[in-house]
Chains A and B, each alone.
Chain A
Amino acid sequence: MNGQPLKPWLAPLALIGLLAVMGFVLPAYHHNNMARILVLAVFAMGYNIAFGYTGLLSLGHALFFGAGLYAAGLAINQGGVTAGLALGLGLLAGGGVALATGVLALRTAGVSFMIVTLMFAQAGYLLLLYFGAFTGGDEGFVVARTGRVLGGFDLTTDGPRYGLALGLFTLAILGQTAIVRAPFGRVMVAMRENSARAQMLGFDPFRTKLIVLVISGLYSGVAGAAYGILFGYVGASFAAIQYSILPLLWVLLGGSGTVLGPFLGVFIMFYLIDLSSSYTSAHLMVVGVALLVLVLFAPRGILGGLRKRWGTWLA
């Protein structure tokens, strides 16, 4: 780690470079898809920091994504703020909700933690429906066009949209690499592998996991805010249980606890559903079978399996 300070950065930097080039050559349809994938990959990275590196299997991340989405959407539509400020508010909302959830949920572990996070997320989703007059309930609302401009660029057009998505993705993936390469990242992995032993060595599990969950919430929140601003729609379905399951699926598919895994998982899953939808409308089946195959045959995910074979530079 100290001997080769540059090596862990090569893979993410290469990916960012490739994606930047893609921004100029992709046809419109895939251009739009890639922008979505990049934003969702930020969400997946947030999940990966909690689940992949620290072993916190949450079933409630839709709550953080939804918090960011609604904070940004409502601030734009009701408060008339600009896109930049809305992104910041989404970031803070995700982190704040994660902090509140974590303080309570982290008193439990394992299966209880999964159920507690699931219940908090469900309560959050139901609250959105309950205050339907304010949040738009099931139908949601369209984000006002005035809030979809950043620094003079119109985010409803292809180029700026891809640009902002790639910018966020770049910050997120470099941030993730920095966190897991820092001493704190080692403590995170120690918590995943053996929380009791890490505690004996003097690291506070509750404090570490709470910090991790807040970081994860910040990622999820800003991803939610960006999703609302870039694609113009805010709805309760993004806070429903499916958006807690999807990041788990993405991270498991790409390889949990790897730097590129979340992006790869979102990319493959997105195009798997996109391609399969020309043959069948059975999206649920694709997701269900993917989960089963992964958990039965490839619990390490794609990159996890490759890393085991070809070395740690992939991570």
Chain B
Amino acid sequence: MAFGPFLLLALMEGLVTAAVLALTALGLSLVFGVMRVVNVAHGAFFMLGAVGAWFVTEWVGNPPALGFALALVICPLAVGAIAALANGLVLKRLNYDPEATIVATIGLLYIFQQMALTLYGPDARPVPAPFSFRVQLPWFGYSGYKLAVIGAAAVVLAGVWLVLNRSKIGLVMRATQIDREMAQAFGINVDRVYAGVFAMGAGLAAVAAVLIVPIQQAHYLMGGDPLLLSFIVVIIGGLGSLRGTLVAALLIGLSDGVISVFFSPTLAKIIATLLVALVLVFRPQGLFGRQVTR
């Protein structure tokens, strides 16, 4: 293949990565923005979504499209419920102390991994795509499902943006984010907002996982990469900024695609992790964020 089409292929692969990454990272960013919690278990929620999708599609059987559609509804709700439970049982009792919650979410991460390992097993298993057609480009054919993933992610992102900026729920969330005590004084039930935000963050990770699982198999350790990349995106984009998260997801996703195709996926990750560390050291507000006042 010539260089041009090869680059196009790399960019398209990157765009799929970016779409899924944007959803996952948005969940992490919301939780950090509103609750000031660094959720290390975020990748585990992603994994639970993917493993859940396998169980749902297996249970429904034929047609695969029905199972997939059900999984897309059930998995985020179930993972969100688990997250709300974890929030109530653990994080709330720690009063959301930043360092204690990191240790606690590491604990949750191991517990979720063990649950998946025990119930689902150590194998990586595929989930059938709801449809399979190839889009024939002049140089190569491309999976229609991958293009659908990009579209679906865009729809969900638009939905989240609407909820955050145009609904009462979003208003309450933003009020809690800006000043927790003042929000409480105005009669906002902060505990419920926190439970909701934590569930929503986990649910977004689960949506991303269900979308990606027909391309990538479900495995109990699959949460590591999404967690790492989400951290990278959230930090580079600036914490709590939706636009920054999107731009950073595109940047990281596309460069990951290009470097992975032309060099090696490991090299792409090395560059991204070092970039994050350096951004945090030299520009803590992120590349696109403004200096936040606390």
Q: Choose the segment among A11-19, A83-91, A108-116 that binds chain B (4+ C-beta atoms closer than 8 Å).
A: A108-116
The distance in angstroms between the C-alpha atoms of A287 and B273, with both chains bound, is: 26
Known: A112-B284, A123-B274. A295 touches B110 (CB 8 A): no
Q: Considering the complex, give the chain B residue whose CB is closest to the CB of A241.
A: B224
The distance in angstroms between the C-alpha atoms of A123 and B232, with both chains bound, is: 12
- Residue A1 CB within 8 A of the other chain: no
- Residue B183 CB within 8 A of the other chain: no
State which residues 229-281 of B face A: CB under 8 Å: 231-232, 235, 264, 266-267, 269-270, 273-274, 276-278, 280-281
- Residue A191 CB within 8 A of the other chain: no
State which residues 91-129 of A face B: CB under 8 Å: 104-105, 107-108, 110-112, 114-116, 118-120, 122-123, 126-127, 129
A123:B273 contact, CB within 8 angstroms: yes
Interface 1/0 per residue, B102-136 and A, CB below 8 Å: 11101111110111011000000000000000000
B108:A108 contact, CB within 8 angstroms: no
B38:A119 contact, CB within 8 angstroms: no
Distance in angstroms from A51 CB to nearest chain B CB is: 10
State which residues 261-307 of A face B: CB under 8 Å: 282-285, 287-292, 294-296, 299
A288:B99 contact, CB within 8 angstroms: no
- Residue A184 CB within 8 A of the other chain: no
B280:A116 contact, CB within 8 angstroms: yes
- Residue B100 CB within 8 A of the other chain: yes
Interface 1/0 per residue, A32-63 and B, CB below 8 Å: 00000000000000000000000001010000
The distance in angstroms between the C-alpha atoms of A130 and B271, with both chains bound, is: 12
Q: Considering the complex, give the chain B residue whose CB is closest to the CB of A244.
A: B106
Which residue in A104, A284, A299 is a CB contact (below 8 Å) of B278?
A104
Q: Choose the segment among B10-18, B48-56, B61-69, B90-98 that binds chain A (4+ C-beta atoms closer than 8 Å).
A: B90-98
Which residue in A110, A116, A285 is a CB contact (below 8 Å) of B277?
A116
Q: Considering the complex, give the chain A residue whose CB is closest to the CB of B104.
A: A295
The distance in angstroms between the C-alpha atoms of A252 and B99, with both chains bound, is: 12
- Residue B150 CB within 8 A of the other chain: no
Q: Considering the complex, give the chain B residue whose CB is closest to the CB of A285.
A: B114
B106:A245 contact, CB within 8 angstroms: yes
- Residue A260 CB within 8 A of the other chain: no
Which residue in B94, B102, B114, B228 is a CB contact (below 8 Å) of A284?
B114
Known: A104-B281, A291-B107. A111 touches B98 (CB 8 A): yes
A130:B264 contact, CB within 8 angstroms: yes
The distance in angstroms between the C-alpha atoms of A295 and B106, with both chains bound, is: 11
A282:B277 contact, CB within 8 angstroms: no
Which residue in A118, A126, A288, A289 is a CB contact (below 8 Å) of B109?
A288
Q: Considering the complex, give the chain B residue whose CB is closest to the CB of A240.
A: B224
Q: Considering the complex, give the chain B residue whose CB is closest to the CB of A128.
A: B266
Known: A111-B98, A112-B280, A248-B103. A291 touches B110 (CB 8 A): yes
Known: A111-B98, A287-B110, A296-B93. A126 touches B281 (CB 8 A): no
The distance in angstroms between the C-alpha atoms of A287 and B267, with both chains bound, is: 31
Chain B residues near A289 (CB-CB < 8 A)? 107, 111
The distance in angstroms between the C-alpha atoms of A111 and B97, with both chains bound, is: 11
A122:B281 contact, CB within 8 angstroms: no
A105:B277 contact, CB within 8 angstroms: yes
B274:A285 contact, CB within 8 angstroms: no
A284:B111 contact, CB within 8 angstroms: yes
Chain A residues near B228 (CB-CB < 8 A)? 122
The distance in angstroms between the C-alpha atoms of A290 and B114, with both chains bound, is: 13
Known: A120-B277, A296-B93. A291 touches B104 (CB 8 A): yes
State which residues 120-146 of A face B: CB under 8 Å: 120, 122-123, 126-127, 129-130
B93:A114 contact, CB within 8 angstroms: no
B114:A115 contact, CB within 8 angstroms: no
A115:B38 contact, CB within 8 angstroms: yes
Chain B residues near A241 (CB-CB < 8 A)? 224
Q: Considering the complex, give the chain B residue whose CB is closest to the CB of A130.
A: B266
A299:B100 contact, CB within 8 angstroms: yes
Distance in angstroms from B257 CB to nearest chain A CB is: 17
The distance in angstroms between the C-alpha atoms of A288 and B104, with both chains bound, is: 8
Interface residues, chain B, CB within 8 Å of chain A? Answer: 38, 90, 93-94, 98-100, 102-104, 106-111, 113-115, 117-118, 224, 228, 231-232, 235, 264, 266-267, 269-270, 273-274, 276-278, 280-282, 284
* Beyond A118-B231, A122-B273, A295-B103, 13 extra complex contacts between A and B, CB < 8 Å: A57-B99, A104-B277, A104-B281, A105-B277, A111-B102, A115-B38, A116-B276, A123-B274, A130-B267, A282-B118, A288-B107, A292-B104, A292-B111
Contacts A/B (CB < 8 Å), 6 sampled: A110-B98, A111-B38, A111-B99, A115-B38, A119-B231, A291-B107
Interface residues, chain A, CB within 8 Å of chain B? Answer: 57, 59, 104-105, 107-108, 110-112, 114-116, 118-120, 122-123, 126-127, 129-130, 241, 245, 248, 252, 282-285, 287-292, 294-296, 299
Closest 3 CB pairs of A and B: A288-B110, A291-B107, A288-B111
